[in-house]
Structure 1
Amino acid sequence: MSRLRAALLWSWLLLCSLLSPLVLASPAPPSIELASIATHQVITPQLQVLRDARASELLSTALASGPWEAIHIPMLQEGYSTGAFWLRGQVRNDSSEHVTRWLAMGSARLQDVRLYWLPSLPSSSAHTADDVIPRYAGTLHPIARREIASRTPLFPLTLAPGEERQWVLRVTGDSAIDLNVALWESAAFRQDEGRELSIQAFVLGVSVLLVTYALIQGIAWHDRGFVLMAAWIVTALAYIWTFQGYLQLYLFPQGGAWLVRTPATLGCLATLLYVRMSYVLVGLQRLRPWNSVYAVIQALLIAVIGATALGNYRVTAPLANATAALAYVMWLASLLHAWRAGLPHARVLTLSFALAWLGMSVKLLELNGLVDRSLLPDWHFAALFQIGLLCMTALVIIGRALELHRKHDQMQWAMLYLRVREQLKLEQAVAARTRELREALEAADQANRAKTGFLTRISHDLRTPLTSILGFADMLQTGGDERARHGRIIVRSARHMLAMVNDLIDYARGDRPDLPHPAPVYVHALLQEIGQEASLLAQRQHNAFRLQVAPTLPPVLTLDARRVRRILGNLLDNAAKYTRDGRIVLQVQWHPASAQSGMGVMEMQVRDTGCGIPLHFQKRVFEPFERAHADRSQPGIGMGLAIVRQWIQQMGGQVALSSRPGEGTTMTLRLPAAIGSEHDVARHDAPEDASGRLLIDGEGRLVLVVEDHADIAQLLGDQLGSVGFAVELYADAERAIARMAAPDAPAVALVMTDFQLPGLHGDAVLEAARRLLPGIPVLLLSATLQPERGQEDGGQFDACLLKPVNFLELQETIGRLLGLQKQEPSCEDGTAPPLQRPAPADLQEALALIEMGAVSDLLDWCDTLQRRNPVWTGFVTMARQLVMDADLSTLEALCQTDQPVQSVDE
């Protein structure tokens, strides 16, 4: 018996130890029958809750803990909590079929929701609880991990006939805790979800329409209020969709911890945009006390947005709600003040959004657990709030648009009134101005006629003496020796002056603008001519002149030669005027841009050792009518350097001045130019002699011409052939040297050669001529200035002419080299034809030219008569001789229609 008693005692103790947890545990929650739920049923009051401050992860720990208690109304909205909440419920199936119902939690903001579906009763025990695999939902988990894709936490519960089971929910997260739970029939849930989606689609369509309209109006009217309103609508809708779970369901199905921050962050951003929009639409800047208030509110909202997005959400979320509430309170107070002050849109904003913000205030109280959510069901409240908000927003947008259109119409009418009034004033002013303009036009016509008459007279007065100078200087060119050189200088200077006179008259008439006209030119010959003129200028005050041209300067450049001549002429003239017993140097250098571009910069420096320019005056020396020196005895009006700077800038160049008083002045010109070819200037850059008079007779003499440019070679051949020479043309030095070495070839009287030839240059031609044709002179025709050569080994050319060659100068040089006598026209030749007088009209033309002293025109008149009718050759010969002898009085008597023709010797 003792053994039996001991066995019974141990059995009793073991049974007590097994039943003790059940005795100490809380009573099981009431069982809910699933088959009886036709559509849905809120089961929150029938559940038990356990507050777990430590947020335990183990189900067994939660089941063993206590006490489990019933859910009271304050627990439905717990707000923000750091612990975990465990919900426990029990369901059964009393029907004869399998039954499935969906367990749904009403809030889409819950971050981490786990369902533990315990085994069937009575097999459930604590030691098997940790083996239950949880099901997941909430913003922390991807949509794909859930059993049912939905915007809210949703779990399917399936029971066999007669089966009864318990389930446990674990809810944690940084968001506000919402503990409302319901059981849904699946078809009823999808039907309710479809109605909500239809409303959201309608809201989205209306929102897109309002945003598009607001943006169009904002861009069209340049109105910031419309733009802010469009931004606010988009942000507010994004906030609501995030609040309801659509953001994760359709855009970010992967979920994440950051999604919990989006509602509060977007809510504060929408509040900031709304406050700013109201400030702009109402014009609260007119009420000065609210300027600082709104600045502080906006700064607070911006700071809270950053803190909510990046900081501790449990701490910043209540702060964001409080700041938003404060902003709306200040907004309402400012709008009431603006309404009282009569500001536009204050009343419509206050009335339109008062109801909406009242609902939002209640929602904020609900989020913080101060109001029972059953008063405002979730999606019903959201749908009503969105529809009402959109209707009120549409009212505001339409009102704003009508106001802008009304203001626009008022401005249009005001502008029309002003236009009509100004038009009346303008018509009166036009009538008065028309009379004044008519009188001024008549006076201008009289002045224009006077100007035209003046220009006609000045043209005659200026051109007539220049024409006479040209004619007599042209005759000096035929005299030979030093007179011919002086005659050529006079001709070039006179032609240069005549061109300036023509430009001045054309500019005064307005015939053409004073623009650069670049053309290919032999730049070395141009500089040589300028140097000859500058040498004469320098000799006036006993100055030495020197021309320095860099060997790298190309022979042909594309530039405005007329302007370059005038620019350098002005600078050299200034240097000659202000320098006595000193030196004047014209130095020209070439700076190529690149080997392939064919461009470069020609740098021209005019240096003198004159009196210099004071430092304080150097900045004004290029201004019109400014003269740097106090000595006014020198001629000029102070326009030279102004014209230099204007023209050099028009040609794309630069001018610089460097001067020291008492030491001299240096003017530096930098002119961009393109490298040209002799083919481009062979014909149009003709020499200055137009008379074509013959000074020598080369009959019976052979000239060997070495020139690689066909046009220049043909021109030389024609000119030499016109004075009787036989000409042989060669395009390269090799063939010409081979011709010199030919034993049976005709004798050569003269060798003319270019310097820059393909292959061998002119030096090789000179050396071959000295070796193969001793005693035969060699004449160099070059486009570049050649350095001085030594006399040893016959290394010096007999003569050198620069291109383009003056035909008279060429004849004079050949005559000197070959010892030819100059031909003089004679009227005593017994074989001369009988004199016959030209037509009276021709004689009257000659009398008019004689009256003007136009010597060169008279020579052209003679040539024209001889070409027109050879019968007049005797008369033309006599007239030409009289013109060349400057005997215009005898020529005038000869051309008198009533005078008989007689010999010149008489």
Structure 2
Amino acid sequence: MNARARRALVLLLALLCGLGSLCARAQGLDLARPEPRLDPGVLLEALADPQARLEPLQALQAPGWTPATPRQLNPDMRQGLVPGRLWLRLRLVNQGPQSVTRWVAVGAWRIEHMRAYEVEPEGTRVRQAWTGGIEHPLRERPVPGMKNIFPVTLQPGQEMVFLAEVRLRLLVRVDLSVWEPPAFREQEAQEKLLVLVSVGMQLSLAAYFLLQLAARRERVFGLFALWVLLIALHQLSYHGFVYRYLLSEGGPIEPRLRVVLSSLTVGVSLLFLYRALELYRLRPWRRFYRALLAGFAGAAVAVPWMSPVAAGVATMLLVLLALLFTPLSMWAAWRHRLPRFRICLLHYCVWWGVSALRVLQLTVLPLLVSWDDDLMQWTNLGIVAMVLHAVMSHYHGTVRDKLDAQAALLRAQAEEQARLERAVQERTRALQDALIAARDADAAKSDFLARVSHDLRTPLTSILGYAGLLSGAGRREAEHGRVILRSAQHLLALLNDLIDYARGGVQPDALQLAPLYTAALLENLAAEGRALAARQGNRFELQVRGALPTAVEADAKRLRQVLQNLLANAAKFTRGGRVAFEVEVAPEPDEAGCCRFRFTVRDTGPGIEAAVLPHLFEPFQRSRAADRPEGLGLGLAIARQWTERMGGRIAAESRPGEGTCMRVELALRPVSEEAIARPQRMLEQEQPPELDGSGRRLWVVEDSAAVREMLCAELEGLGFEVLALDGGMQALARLDDAAAPAPDLVLTDLQMPGADGHAVLAALRARWPALPVVLLSAALESRLREPAGFSAVLGKPVSRAQLRTTLAGLLGLTLDEGGCEAAPAAALQPPPPEYLSEFARLVRLGAVSDVADWAAQLAAAQPPWSGFLERLRALAEQGDLKGCERMLAAPAGVAAEPA
């Protein structure tokens, strides 16, 4: 084929392509095509309107329409400065059999003003008009979104002309595409996600550098964090998030905000470079950078009084100036070996490359505008690379410093360890010597206390005995004897306090914890408090708040000593008033499972002076409220000592003339009745009368196996036929047996799982109305007032004598008390009458601890009296004052002297 034929063939092909495009343009873009996105291509026509004078129908009929070119759709700096318009025209048809709805998207979203029209195919009438652009509120758009979206619906065979009017602005890329609505929303969501991921990465970097700023106190990290934050804000504004979610009412604010963010971003980037490289050391560059930064700041401040185009041009000129001269500043930094040159060089290369491409977009190569979003991503990647470089450099430096520090620390630790070993050896030898000396001192102190106790109590015992003989002689010397007796008694009380206080310091772990019945302890204390209060004409009250546990673990002797001391003080300093003993139990146990008790002793006495109150629990402190203060002032000190030893605390509140309130708070662990020792489950403080229960049938309903076995052994030893029932449920099951023989008497516990004592009583009364039912209760309320319906109430611990007396009264049995009372006197040899008289005096005073201590010491000194004294000591430790009085009066007929 020769050259002429080839030219003819090329001309023919060009003619055919032109005819094809003309036919397609005449036919229009078919919306029924199955593609989710339709690109108009050559079908999109453009018309320039530099003067912005044409109306829609005029523009549609005006000559000069040409296929849209990239030059027209992407204006450069010169075109952006011209206040003109760009008209776009696209013919749309529906050649399918069904109605079709498509969205026409005109971008970019940064277009400030545009309008779109749906025109008749002949171009004679506008069917519908829409508004778009960021100058107008978002609610005025037909479809809210980042881009300008216009819905178009065509029936089968219908066609229309889509006409768009766009106001030209600087760096606004104009494109037009036709979408299926779901496909457009999916594409928009992907674009949003990419932008938000990029922004999230930038915010993470900013947070990292803010942490570095807080840790290392270097301004460079703060500047870098600010720069990254401004980049993130500029990116959000650039992609329309600010207009979409914050400035949706439109107006000129958003375009100006974007220019302000651009100026601040570049300015802070240069400020970071200036501070990080420490270019302020070089005088010429210090002046240049300050002038350049002032220019960026001025451009950002002047934006509200300038048009967005003019502000953008001013910012771009400043960026161009920075691009030309900052390479020289980097060369100067390298030459003068300024710090952080490597990281700043990486930062500068990224910034310089991106800024250079932006300048080329505006001037020489406007078609590069299509790379706009890619430039943003490259900027982010550059920031990431720079941060990674900084982090790795910092990490390697930190690791190196850490290894050096560890080596130095190991050397220092080795030296310190050697020194400490020598010091420990020396200290160990000194402590061993001190421990030996302390043990010797403690042993010497214990021996001293024992010797003092023995040497002082022995002559006092003789003095008390002969004083008692003189006081009862009936001669003139009787008055002298009573004076000697009172003085000796006072001296013995002082001696007991001194030894007890000193013993508490020598034996810090002298507590003897044992399970005991709570109600029995409080009942005994109340009885002693009532007797003490009555001596001064006081009224005594006992108040209990909260649910008392059946049994607790405590040192009964020390707890009774503390509370007796408080009750004795209240009764001693109050006359004709009121003494109240209050017991409060917290509703919930503490973390260790202990019940919180609060014991309060209130009186209406003279009160305590404010100056004395802070020192009240110190040793040898005595209140001046009494007419004649007695004692050494150790009672409250001993009370505080033992209270703190038991893990509690003691406090006092008082006002002169208004009485005194003493509080003791303790945590006592509740225990089961099974843990209580057998001697404390049944009192044996007195010789019980003999009773013959042969032929009588008894039921014992008790859920505690230990208490049940103890009662059964006691009753079977008296000849009774006993049926032991494990709790109320077993008793109710026994009652369901119609063939079961009726008992003569039933003893039942009060608190039992499933069915308590009241349920057992109701069932027994329903079957045998006249059957005697005796309640066994450890509850204080049941002991103070007899529950209705029961024949009798016995408190726990159960008294053998009271048990036998109650059974005899309800069953009509005969008690044999004659020989039983003489048996202990024959078997137990009592001390002489003078000793018994002194014991009786201590019992009347309520000094049960002194009775127990003196009885133990006297039993060790006088073995023939040990049996009698041991029983007396047991009664005193259990707080049974009445039993002590009966035992002291019975053997020798010693009558209790009046106090």
Q: Structure 2 counterpart of 1:445, which letter?
A: I
Q: Which residue pairs with 2:436 in the alignment? A: 445
Counterpart Cα distance in 1 of 2:198 and 2:783: 92
Query: Does the CA-based 8 Å contact 1:553-1:589 persist in structure 2?
Result: no
Q: 2:601 aligns with which of 600, 603, 606?
A: 606
Q: Find the residue that maps to 1:613 and give its secondary structure.
A: coil
Q: Could you tell me how far 1:402 is from its partner in structure 2?
A: 1.9
> Which residues in structure 2 correspond to 1:723-802 (within 5 Å)?
724=718, 726=720, 757-758=757-758, 783=778, 784=780, 802=795
Counterpart Cα distance in 2 of 1:528 and 1:111: 94
Counterpart Cα distance in 2 of 1:550 and 1:74: 93
Q: Could you tell me how far 1:796 is from its partner in structure 2?
A: 14
CA spacing shift, 1:346–1:59, aligned 2, 3 Å: farther
Q: Which residue pairs with 2:566 in the alignment? A: 571
Q: Which residue pairs with 2:166 in the alignment? A: 171
Q: Structure 2 counterpart of 1:571, which letter?
A: L
Is 2:637 the counterpart of 1:639? yes
Q: Could you tell me how far 1:438 is from its partner in structure 2?
A: 1.4
Counterpart Cα distance in 2 of 1:782 and 1:47: 107
Q: Find the residue that maps to 2:50 and give its secondary structure.
A: strand
Q: Which residue pairs with 1:585 in the alignment? A: 579
Query: Does the CA-based 8 Å contact 1:621-1:641 persist in structure 2?
Result: no
Q: Which residue pairs with 2:426 in the alignment? A: 435
Query: Does the CA-based 8 Å contact 2:47-2:64 persist in structure 1?
Result: no
Q: Find the residue that maps to 1:698 and give its secondary structure.
A: coil
> Which residues in structure 2 correspond to 1:8-47 (within 5 Å)?
none
Q: Could you tell me how far 1:613 is from its partner in structure 2?
A: 1.6
Q: Which runs of 5+ in 1 are unaligned?
A: 1-31, 37-42, 91-103, 154-165, 183-201, 467-496, 740-744, 830-847, 863-883, 887-906
Q: Which residue pairs with 1:665 in the alignment? A: 660
Q: 2:542 aligns with which of 531, 544, 548?
A: 548
Q: Find the residue that maps to 2:404 and give its secondary structure.
A: helix
Q: Which residue pairs with 2:517 in the alignment? A: 521
Q: Find the residue that maps to 2:606 and give its secondary structure.
A: coil
Counterpart Cα distance in 2 of 1:461 and 1:302: 98
Counterpart Cα distance in 1 of 2:320 and 2:271: 12
Query: Does the CA-based 8 Å contact 1:86-1:171 persist in structure 2?
Result: yes
Counterpart Cα distance in 1 of 2:281 and 2:600: 69
Q: Which residue pairs with 2:702 in the alignment? A: 709
Is the radius of gyration larger for structure 1 or structure 2?
Answer: 1
Query: Does the CA-based 8 Å contact 2:515-2:677 persist in structure 1?
Result: no
Q: Could you tell me how far 1:666 is from its partner in structure 2?
A: 2.7
Q: Find the residue that maps to 1:611 and give its secondary structure.
A: coil
Counterpart Cα distance in 2 of 1:593 and 1:461: 47
Q: Could you tell me how far 1:431 is from its partner in structure 2?
A: 1.9
Q: Structure 2 counterpart of 1:58, which letter?
A: P
TM-score, with structure 2 as normaliser: 0.51
Q: Find the residue that maps to 2:434 and give its secondary structure.
A: helix
> Which residues in structure 2 correspond to 1:53-452 (within 5 Å)?
53=52, 58-61=56-59, 76-78=76-78, 84-86=84-86, 110=111, 128=123, 170-172=165-167, 176=170, 236=231, 267=262, 274=269, 315=307, 345=339, 347-348=341-342, 351-354=345-348, 356-358=350-352, 372-374=363-365, 377-378=368-369, 390=381, 394=385, 397-399=388-390, 401-410=392-401, 412-414=403-405, 416-417=407-408, 420-421=411-412, 423-424=414-415, 427-428=418-419, 430-451=421-442
Q: Structure 2 counterpart of 1:398, which letter?
A: H
Q: Could you tell me how far 1:698 is from its partner in structure 2?
A: 3.1
- Post-superposition Cα deviations, 1:824-866, rounded to whole Å, max 9, x if no partner, equal 459999xxxxxxxxxxxxxxxxxx998655679879999xxxx
Q: Which residue pairs with 2:819 in the alignment? A: 822
Counterpart Cα distance in 2 of 1:689 and 1:324: 109
Query: Does the CA-based 8 Å contact 1:612-1:659 persist in structure 2?
Result: yes
CA spacing shift, 1:510–1:178, aligned 2, 3 Å: same
- Post-superposition Cα deviations, 1:771-807, rounded to whole Å, max 9, x if no partner, equal 999xxxx9986544679999xxxx9999986421343
Q: Structure 2 counterpart of 1:51, which letter?
A: P
Q: Which residue pairs with 2:49 in the alignment? A: 50
Q: Find the residue that maps to 2:691 and give its secondary structure.
A: coil
Query: Does the CA-based 8 Å contact 2:171-2:369 persist in structure 1?
Result: no
Q: Could you tell me how far 1:585 is from its partner in structure 2?
A: 2.5
Q: Find the residue that maps to 1:719 and give its secondary structure.
A: helix
Q: Find the residue that maps to 2:365 and give its secondary structure.
A: helix
CA spacing shift, 1:364–1:754, aligned 2, 3 Å: closer
Query: Does the CA-based 8 Å contact 1:79-1:178 persist in structure 2?
Result: no
CA spacing shift, 1:633–1:33, aligned 2, 3 Å: farther
Q: Which residue pairs with 2:482 in the alignment? A: none
Q: Structure 2 counterpart of 1:715, which letter?
A: M
- Post-superposition Cα deviations, 1:35-54, rounded to whole Å, max 9, x if no partner, equal 69xxxxxx9xx998422446
TM-score, with structure 1 as normaliser: 0.50
Counterpart Cα distance in 2 of 1:113 and 1:366: 27
- Post-superposition Cα deviations, 1:353-403, rounded to whole Å, max 9, x if no partner, equal 445545555666677xxx623388446798789769856863564255324
- Post-superposition Cα deviations, 1:693-738, rounded to whole Å, max 9, x if no partner, equal 966443577778675426556534533554x554667989xx9xxx
CA RMSD of aligned residues (A): 7.9
CA spacing shift, 1:611–1:398, aligned 2, 3 Å: same
- Post-superposition Cα deviations, 1:509-565, rounded to whole Å, max 9, x if no partner, equal 7769x79x6957241x222211333355557x7454635356997683556473653
Q: Find the residue that maps to 1:639 and give its secondary structure.
A: helix
Query: Does the CA-based 8 Å contact 1:50-1:67 persist in structure 2?
Result: no
Q: 1:803 aligns with which of 779, 796, 808?
A: 796
Q: Find the residue that maps to 1:546 and give its secondary structure.
A: strand
Counterpart Cα distance in 1 of 2:587 and 2:338: 68
Q: Structure 1 counterpart of 2:563, which letter?
A: L
- Post-superposition Cα deviations, 1:188-244, rounded to whole Å, max 9, x if no partner, equal xxxxxxxxxxxxxx999999999999999998998687898699679858967996x
Counterpart Cα distance in 2 of 1:754 and 1:621: 45
Q: Which residue pairs with 2:691 in the alignment? A: 698
Q: Could you tell me how far 1:442 is from its partner in structure 2?
A: 2.5
Q: Which residue pairs with 2:478 in the alignment? A: none
Is 2:528 the counterpart of 1:530? no
Query: Does the CA-based 8 Å contact 2:777-2:783 persist in structure 1?
Result: no
Query: Does the CA-based 8 Å contact 1:235-1:270 persist in structure 2?
Result: yes
Identity of aligned residues (%): 20
Q: Could you tell me how far 1:660 is from its partner in structure 2?
A: 2.6
Q: Find the residue that maps to 2:86 and give its secondary structure.
A: strand
Q: Could you tell me how far 1:643 is from its partner in structure 2?
A: 4.6
Q: Find the residue that maps to 1:758 and give its secondary structure.
A: helix
Counterpart Cα distance in 1 of 2:563 and 2:357: 91
Q: Could you tell me how far 1:603 is from its partner in structure 2?
A: 6.1
Q: Find the residue that maps to 1:666 and give its secondary structure.
A: strand
CA spacing shift, 1:430–1:854, aligned 2, 3 Å: farther
CA spacing shift, 1:624–1:520, aligned 2, 3 Å: same
Query: Does the CA-based 8 Å contact 1:62-1:86 persist in structure 2?
Result: no
Counterpart Cα distance in 1 of 2:807 and 2:162: 130
CA spacing shift, 1:378–1:856, aligned 2, 3 Å: farther
Query: Does the CA-based 8 Å contact 2:532-2:571 persist in structure 1?
Result: yes
CA spacing shift, 1:341–1:659, aligned 2, 3 Å: farther
Q: Which runs of 5+ in 2 are unaligned?
A: 1-13, 19-41, 91-104, 150-160, 177-193, 458-494, 736-740, 752-756, 828-856, 872-889, 893-899
Counterpart Cα distance in 2 of 1:600 and 1:432: 46
